[in-house]
Structures are given as C-alpha cells and as structure tokens.
Amino acid sequence: MQGMSERQYAARVGLSRGAIQKAKAAGRLVLHEDGSIDAEASDALRAQATDPSKTSKTPAKERKLKPVPEAAVSAVGGTLREQGLAAPTTGGGTTFLQAKTANEVLKAQERRIRLQKLKGELVDRARAETLVFRLAREERDAWVNWPARVAALMAAELGADTAAMQKVLEAHVSAHLEELAQPRIVL
C-alpha cells in the first residue's frame, strides 16, 4: 500500500471514516493507483477547498465537551425519578441514554397535556382562580347581607327587638366568616 487507508487518514485529520468516504467519493481526496490516500496531496487539496472559518484546529479526539449545567442534569434526574426510572446520582453525570429517555418522557407528557387541552379536560388556571375568587366573594357578600334581611322576621317570630336581633346575627355571621377565612392545612 503506497498511502494511507481511510481509517488511518481519518485518524490523522480528526474526521470520521464516513466523512473520509464521502470526500473520497466526491473526489476531494488524492488517491494512489492502489486506491490508498495520498495524505500530503489530500491535505493540500482539502485546505484549498475548505472554508477556514468552519474548521476546528483541535483534532476530534482532543476536543472537550461543553459542561452540562447542573440544573439540566437535575431536571433529567427529576423527570426520570417521576417515572420510576433510574436517575443519575448527584455529581455522577447523566448518560446520553438517560437524557434521551428523559427527553422522550417529557415529550410524551407534553403531548398528553396538549391532548387533554384539546379534549377540554384542562382549564386555564388563571381563569379558574378568578372564577373561584368571584364565587367565594359572592357567597361571603350574601352571608354579610343575610342578617339585615332576616333579622326583622326572626325578631317578629321570637317577639324580640329587631335591632338587637340584627346586631347579634351580624356578630355571629361575622365571627363565622372570620373563622372560615383562616387558612386550613390539610395533610
């Protein structure tokens, strides 16, 4: 063999064997008569035809991967744990397979949510909160106004003073509404 094999030349220039095969098929490499690659002549030909701004000066084996932010790693771990799958240990890094699995899980969850929205099973949270707040306020206002409406009727039935009856009812309703307004933690 007069020159280099595809594998040898790929290792020399820091490209994959497939990239070398494509370059060979496209006529961007200089070949010896036996089909081996003339390295020096091919390097010169590639240098002429290649845009220097699109090349890396560092060989592929020496290039370092960019670090993945810890937030991304923890998000992958959280997604995997939610689905009952093995998650990476803290600081241990995430494998490509784990990240890909987490990505697929997230895409499936997103599709499920989108489908639920289309079916009308999900509602807008802000709209629901506004509606619940409005209904609760209407209920509270109805209770606040109730003593004034029924005090005269109750006083007539009991033979009591109307003003005193209204005052007692308002105090009890007000106390009850205050009690209901206190946050309750349910576990």
**In this predicted model, what pLDDT tens digit does every residue of 123-181 receive, in sequence order?**
888 999 999 999 999 999 999 999 999 999 999 999 999 999 999 999 999 999 998 88
CA distance 95 to 21: 30
Kindly report the pTM of this predicted structure.
0.40
The boundaries of the domain holding residue 18 are: 6-54
Residues 88 and 110 in one domain: yes
Burial class (CB in 10 A: 0-12, 13-18, 19+), 46: middle
Say if residues 105 and 120 touch (Cβ distance below 8 Å): no
Within-domain flag for 155: yes
Higher pLDDT, 51 or 18: 18
Predicted confidence at residue 61, as pLDDT, reads 57
Within-domain flag for 66: no
Predicted confidence at residue 93, as pLDDT, reads 61
Residues 177 and 149 in one domain: yes
Residues 47 and 85 in one domain: no
Within-domain flag for 67: no
